[in-house]
Chains A and B, each alone.
Chain A
Amino acid sequence: MASTTPNGAPSPADYDLLPKLAPHLDRHMIFPLLEFANGQLLDDEENITDEKKAREITQAKFALLKKTDMTDYVANLYCELQGLKEPPIEYAERKQKVFSQLEKFEQQTGKITELLERDDVVNNLRSDKVANLEFLKKDHDVTIDMVNALYDYGNLQYSCGSYGDASELLYRFRVLSTDNDKVSYATWGRLACEILTTNWDMALEELQKVRELIDTKLQANPLAQLQHRTSLIHWALFPLFNTDKAREPVLELFFSAPFINTIQTNCPWILRYLTVAVITNRGRAKNVGIQQKQMKDIVRIVKQEAYEYQDPITKFVHALCIDFDFEEAQNQLVVAEEVLRSDFFLLAHADDFVDSARHLIFESYCKIHARISLKDLSARLGLNADDAEKWIVNLIRDTRLDAKIDYKEGTVVMNHPPSSVYQQVIERTKGGFFRTQVLSAAVAR
């Protein structure tokens, strides 16, 4: 995988995270990432080095999928790599084998699948797995082997690339099986399937399940916990950036203490995604408080991890929120945009990010300054004077900033009313009476 980032590449490629992400992702999930990398090259194909790179990617794809059972595709890739017209005979053989295996499993699981589709059977199932199995065994001659066959069949289906079927099979398996290890594998498998079929709602559900599994099952083994969490974090990137619904739960997951620790210790590069997610989340989040807290957290973590991981995105946060160096932040934003555009996950969010980042810059800028020249501001925002004015007017309206534009002078004048002492005293003594009342009630009891 590392072959995708040759040395001396242009700057956005330096920040390519694919090699770092790959070890924590499933083969099938890396594939879209590679496809994307390939797609990036197509824009400027006249370059020779890129052709070489394209070949490298194809090679990587081949290596990636060699072990899966998507034989046709692998055979094609092989042909492409070797310049052959016909794939070697072994692929046909393998295909045959896979088909025969599929058939075999189909037969083995046929009965149980049929049973589970019958209403009278399903209605008799309860939440107790052991009882269920007992019931099926007694009434319908279902053996534990048949249940396990479901698992194997699901595995094979997944390997062949038919994720929907695999998901269904694993679901059925999970309903029936009492084997804890296999159930947890099946849960991971389902998560993968749902991600690959882009069924995000289900994926989120599975995500929660896996999270619980990690918390409960692996309690005795912190190392395994760490590794599993790392994987889960990586997998969760798919839903995070593909559906808005996932944003809050996944962010909440990432910011929970064990996961934030995992990110800090094991995979600081996730900070990029986390930062982008938090920054683009502004205005969207229902709860402003949470968003602010997350922003504070991210600033803190970016600062803590600065020695271990840095990219334009974290540098932007560092410059803006820690050093208050607006020029530097502006510079980093430009680079960050490029990086975002070459990132599989973040591509769709590049514009969003830039917009939110501008907001962020302006907000802290306004907080500190009393008077800003419009001209300067427009330069800083990368807009022309008219657009900048419009932008600012919108901003003032949206965020209810206490600011006015002095058109004659060409400045924006900020008004920072000092928080009044009276207000402070009122704030501080607000809850006092009530709390005392509660206290006295409690004492009286």
Chain B
Amino acid sequence: MSRFFRGGDDSSSESSSDEEDLSLSEEENEAPTKAQQAEDESSDDFDDDEEESEEESSDDDESKPKGLSRFLLDQESSESEESDVEATTKVKSAKDKRHDELEATITGIQNGQKINDWHLISNEFDKLNRQVVKLQDGGKAPKEYVKCLAQLEDFMNETLAKQKVTPKKMNATNTRGLNAVRQRIKKISKDYQDQIDAYRKDSDAFMESDEEEIPVPKKVTKVKFEAFTMAEEDEDAAGFETVGKGGKALQFTPESILKHLRTILESRGKKNTDRQEQITIMEKLFKVAETPYQKIRVLMTLVSARFDLGSGGAASMPLEHWKAAEKELGTLLQILEVSKDHIVIEGAEEWEDDEKAPVLEEGQKHIRIPGSIVSYIERLDDELTRSLQAIDPHTSEYIERLTDEGTLYNIIFQGLLYYEALQKGASLEVPQESLNRIIQRRLDHVYYKPAQVVKILEENSWKAVPSTLDSRITPRSQSGEAIQLINTLCSYLFENSEGIIRARAMLCQIYFLALHDEYYQARDMMLTSHLQENIANFDVTSQILYNRTLVQVGLCAFRKGLVYDAQNTLQEICGSGRQKELLAQGVMIQRFHQVTPEQERLEKQRQLPFHMHINLELLECVYLTCSMLLEIPLLAQTGSSPDVKKRVISKTYRRMLEYHERQIFTGPPENTRDHVMQASKALAAGEWKKATHFIHSIKIWDLMPNTESIKTMLAKQIQEEGLRTYLFTYAPFYDTLAVETLSGMFELDSRKVSAVVSKMISHEELAAALDQVTETVIFRKGVELSRLQSLALTLSDKASALIETNERTLEHRTQGSANAFSRKDGRGGGQRGGGRGGGRGGARTGGGPPRQAGGTQFTGGALGAAVRG
């Protein structure tokens, strides 16, 4: 991570990069990069492997007794008294090895200085810093290191000064190295300021020790090489030993808690630490912790350590640890709730002194502890999702795991209360963002659930908190109504957030509304949000949420009986044939191109847990049924006049229908698709009863609420569309048709029949008229065009299309000055020929009227009817 940031730094201005680095320094210290880990480890490996070279190092020992004694002392003071002699000797040699390396590195830096190679210096310096961490005990750095640091700083300043003067620029790698070193030094020199000062004051006195002793650089390189080859191996032994040793030795007293925590924190993220062990230590620590401060610190470290267990790879956190983390987070929140003078807040200053706990100072209301509750909660949530993704949804294990969601929701809820309480204290600048994030999490857990479920969830969480507590954003008095809850949460986010969170809140609300049959409200929100225009700019999960919302709105429209709207809304998702992928409910098998493992992994991560899924089969069923109701009359209409341009509402449906028709033998329908297809066939033949029967026998309707009313609605729609289809199909064979007959045939009210017929006549879909006296439909004759006539019409259509295209092409080609001329001309002529007004739109409208008038008779009419119907 640190590397990455450093890489980015050199492009930005110096001052800003400095700031950034300062803010990052904490992270950098805590979480060294993988590469660093590897190198650390490798040096350990080296120590262990090359025991034979002890003689060599023993020479070193003798040659610098000062250093040795110092180490011995340090060892004794820092480590336990129990450490046996043998261990000490061992450690001693290892320590010396490190010293050698340190010096080698320093030489490397000095060499780099000689040739002014900052890249080398930077690398060596990084290594040095890592090495020195191991060597430094009791906060004192080795003297060589301090010396090197001071020298390097001087040299750097010199170089910088030089660089300002000379016009010649250093090459990129050099500059980057220089910048990196500069930032590091700035940071580090702060830590060792007094030592450096001491060195500056009197370098000889400070150093005392011999300088002539320079290890062979060759050896270093060899070590490095070996180390890299070994890096792959997991060599826990050394790490385990030290920690274990420490652990055995540890007396868990309240006073030592903070110190232990620090050691644990420092080892965090390193490969050779045994997290399990640390967790046990911390659990013990928590038992002896007395003050709230200690408890909070221990809990926070403990929870993060547990999360570390889950990190790495796709595997989710072990169940028992999740549960424990959840419990501990709960305890943490409770402690925070009880002891109001302690707060955990982002960006608070780290308390450096391990010896004593911070006390409340004059004028300060709170003891601030750095940390982020919201991040813990988010992580806990994510881990649950991950484990749910991994579990087979059809097992009882899944359901068991799912019950944890309730407790998780409680934690989220308590976290929200905590942040609200923080915000009440005006003196604290709680970032609005954390509150937004936690509200978003809460929303994420309720938006897809039915109101009753949400209600239970809410009741439980209110029960879990003391009755004195109340929430400002979601008051207890309002907790009963799920809609109310969603509304308050969302409107809070609308007001206080922006960008993605806001969009997501909007989508969640729409989803919830659609789920609860508030179609118009949901649709209006969807339209006013303007999300469909910029959803492509959002991240993938938001896009998935958008798709889900869209589908839910479509289903809602269907339940309301708005077939056209439903089909239109669902078209985008279902028409693509990639529903699974778009809704993140399963990975599609890619037929045409290979998916890289990376992509596949990402895809898998995005998958929604099963309980959030929208039933795909139901979705398909709804979509196909809607398509059938729209397509069959259209097919009948276009079928009778072959010259009409083929207009297709749903390609997917058409394809299926064609496939179905190609089959030579059709058995009784088996799945949903078969049912709809056979119903379509029946409907096309005017056998609406049969169609209704097929549709009604689809089992999946039972998943919808109010199955019966939906079936009735469908039956009604089928009747009407059947009538329309019938009229379209058989109109050419009749002179007159009694409304009475039609009404008997389709079991519709005769008033309804005449309304339907009137509508068709009015939209010029049907060349007929009603005779009021005899209550009949009179079909006009002579409207069927002869082959020649229809061809002539088509030709004229094509001709005008050609002109239009030509005009557009010209306009496109001559967008410069020539355009102005042609436009002026066009306008002048526009009065006569409906020519080409200004711009493209003008041209279209100008040329429009005559063609449109012709168009509405055939194509436009059907669409219009669909729209209006």
Query: How far does the Cβ of B734 sit from chain A's closest Cβ, in whole Å?
Result: 15
For residue A205, CB closer than 8 A to chain B, the reply is no
Considering the chains assembled together, what is the distance between the CA atoms of A445 and B806 in angstroms? 16
Contacts A303-B868, A428-B800; A371 near B785 (Cβ below 8 A) = no
Point out the residue from B762, B800, B833, B835 that lies within 8 Å of A367, measured CB to CB.
B762
Point out the residue from A370, A409, A411 that lies within 8 Å of B770, measured CB to CB.
A370
Contacts A371-B772, A439-B810, A445-B821; A418 near B796 (Cβ below 8 A) = no
Q: Which residues of A contact B836 (CB under 8 A)?
A: 435, 438
For residue B797, CB closer than 8 A to chain A, the reply is yes
Point out the residue from A307, A308, A368, A438 that lies within 8 Å of B825, measured CB to CB.
A438
For residue A436, CB closer than 8 A to chain B, the reply is yes
Q: Mark A423-445, 1 if CB is under 8 A from B, else 0.
A: 01101111111111011011101
Point out the residue from A303, A370, A433, A442 that lies within 8 Å of B818, measured CB to CB.
A442
For residue B850, CB closer than 8 A to chain A, the reply is yes
Nearest CB to that of A430 among chain B residues? Answer: B850
Point out the residue from B520, B774, B793 that lies within 8 Å of A421, measured CB to CB.
B793
Query: How far does the Cβ of B202 sit from chain A's closest Cβ, in whole Å?
Result: 67
Contacts A439-B806, A442-B825; A431 near B835 (Cβ below 8 A) = yes
Considering the chains assembled together, what is the distance between the CA atoms of A436 and B803 in angstroms? 7
Nearest CB to that of A327 among chain B residues? Answer: B751
Query: How far does the Cβ of A230 sit from chain B's closest Cβ, in whole Å?
Result: 16
Q: Which residues of B contact A245 (CB under 8 A)?
A: none
Considering the chains assembled together, what is the distance between the CA atoms of A428 and B854 in angstroms? 8
Q: Does B833 contact A322, Cβ atoms closer than 8 Å?
A: no
For residue B782, CB closer than 8 A to chain A, the reply is yes
The total of Cβ contacts below 8 Å across the A-B interface reads 125
Q: Mark B789-804, 1 if CB is under 8 A from A, else 0.
A: 1001100110110010
Chain A stretch 206-264: residues in CB contact (< 8 A) with chain B: none
Q: Which residues of A contact B814 (CB under 8 A)?
A: 442
Q: Does A324 contact B825, Cβ atoms closer than 8 Å?
A: no
Q: Which residues of A contact B835 (CB under 8 A)?
A: 431, 434-435, 438
* Size range of the chain A interface in the assembly: 35 or more
Considering the chains assembled together, what is the distance between the CA atoms of A432 and B829 in angstroms? 12
Q: Which residues of B contact A432 (CB under 8 A)?
A: 799-800, 803
Point out the residue from B758, B780, B810 that lies within 8 Å of A443, measured CB to CB.
B810
Considering the chains assembled together, what is the distance between the CA atoms of A308 and B758 in angstroms? 27
Q: Does A429 contact B799, Cβ atoms closer than 8 Å?
A: yes
Chain A stretch 389-409: residues in CB contact (< 8 A) with chain B: 409
Q: Which residues of B contact A327 (CB under 8 A)?
A: 751
Point out the residue from A325, A376, A411, A434 that lies within 8 Å of B751, measured CB to CB.
A325
Nearest CB to that of B823 among chain A residues? Answer: A442
Q: Which residues of A contact B829 (CB under 8 A)?
A: 434-435, 438
Query: How far does the Cβ of A299 sit from chain B's closest Cβ, in whole Å?
Result: 9
Considering the chains assembled together, what is the distance between the CA atoms of A324 and B793 in angstroms? 31
Q: Does A325 contact B755, Cβ atoms closer than 8 Å?
A: yes
Q: Does B761 contact A367, Cβ atoms closer than 8 Å?
A: yes
Point out the residue from A424, A439, A445 that lies within 8 Å of B793, measured CB to CB.
A424
Q: Does B810 contact A435, Cβ atoms closer than 8 Å?
A: no
Query: How far does the Cβ of B562 sit from chain A's closest Cβ, in whole Å?
Result: 10
Considering the chains assembled together, what is the distance between the CA atoms of A368 and B772 in angstroms? 10
Q: Does B772 contact A435, Cβ atoms closer than 8 Å?
A: no
* Size range of the chain B interface in the assembly: 35 or more
Query: How far does the Cβ of B415 sit from chain A's closest Cβ, in whole Å?
Result: 33
Nearest CB to that of A417 among chain B residues? Answer: B780
Q: Does A371 contact B773, Cβ atoms closer than 8 Å?
A: yes
Chain B stretch 731-773: residues in CB contact (< 8 A) with chain A: 751, 755, 757-759, 761-762, 767, 769-773
Nearest CB to that of A306 among chain B residues? Answer: B520
Chain B stretch 836-863: residues in CB contact (< 8 A) with chain A: 836, 847, 850-851, 853-854, 857
Point out the residue from B772, B774, B847 that lies within 8 Å of A376, measured CB to CB.
B772
Q: Which residues of B contact A434 (CB under 8 A)?
A: 829, 832-833, 835
For residue B783, CB closer than 8 A to chain A, the reply is yes
Q: Does A414 contact B769, Cβ atoms closer than 8 Å?
A: yes
Q: Which residues of B contact A441 (CB under 8 A)?
A: 822, 825
Contacts A324-B762, A367-B762, A435-B807; A427 near B853 (Cβ below 8 A) = yes
For residue B669, CB closer than 8 A to chain A, the reply is no
Q: Which residues of A contact B769 (CB under 8 A)?
A: 368-370, 414, 416
Nearest CB to that of B851 among chain A residues? Answer: A428
Q: Does A428 contact B826, Cβ atoms closer than 8 Å?
A: no
Query: How far does the Cβ of B462 sit from chain A's closest Cβ, in whole Å?
Result: 35
For residue B390, CB closer than 8 A to chain A, the reply is no
For residue A364, CB closer than 8 A to chain B, the reply is yes
Considering the chains assembled together, what is the distance between the CA atoms of A441 and B834 in angstroms? 17
Q: Does A431 contact B834, Cβ atoms closer than 8 Å?
A: yes
Q: Which residues of A contact B520 (CB under 8 A)?
A: 307-308
Q: Does A418 contact B782, Cβ atoms closer than 8 Å?
A: yes
Q: Which residues of A contact B773 (CB under 8 A)?
A: 371-373, 409, 411
Q: Does A418 contact B767, Cβ atoms closer than 8 Å?
A: yes
Contacts A421-B789, A438-B835; A370 near B810 (Cβ below 8 A) = no
Nearest CB to that of B774 among chain A residues? Answer: A371
Nearest CB to that of B850 among chain A residues? Answer: A427
Q: Which residues of A contact B774 (CB under 8 A)?
A: 371
Q: Which residues of A contact B857 (CB under 8 A)?
A: 419
Contacts A367-B762, A373-B772, A421-B789; A430 near B833 (Cβ below 8 A) = yes
For residue B778, CB closer than 8 A to chain A, the reply is yes
Query: How far does the Cβ of A28 sit from chain B's closest Cβ, in whole Å?
Result: 34
Considering the chains assembled together, what is the distance between the CA atoms of A324 and B771 in angstroms? 15
Q: Which residues of B contact A409 (CB under 8 A)?
A: 773
Q: Does A431 contact B850, Cβ atoms closer than 8 Å?
A: yes
Considering the chains assembled together, what is the distance between the CA atoms of A439 and B809 in angstroms? 10
Nearest CB to that of B519 among chain A residues? Answer: A307
Q: Does B847 contact A425, Cβ atoms closer than 8 Å?
A: no
For residue A46, CB closer than 8 A to chain B, the reply is no
A/B interface sample: 18 pairs, CB < 8 A = A265-B528, A324-B762, A325-B755, A364-B762, A368-B758, A416-B780, A418-B780, A421-B792, A427-B854, A430-B850, A431-B835, A431-B850, A432-B800, A434-B833, A435-B833, A438-B825, A439-B810, A445-B821
5 nearest CB pairs, A to B: A431-B833, A370-B769, A434-B833, A442-B822, A324-B758
In addition to A372-B772, A427-B850, A432-B800, 19 A-B residue pairs with Cβ atoms within 8 Å of each other are: A323-B755, A367-B762, A368-B769, A369-B772, A373-B772, A376-B772, A411-B773, A416-B769, A424-B854, A428-B793, A428-B797, A430-B834, A431-B833, A434-B829, A434-B835, A438-B825, A438-B829, A442-B810, A442-B822
Task: State the B residues within 8 Å of A (CB).
Answer: 520, 528, 751, 755, 757-759, 761-762, 767, 769-774, 778, 780, 782-783, 785, 789, 792-793, 796-797, 799-800, 803, 806-807, 810, 814, 818, 821-822, 825-826, 829, 832-836, 847, 850-851, 853-854, 857, 868
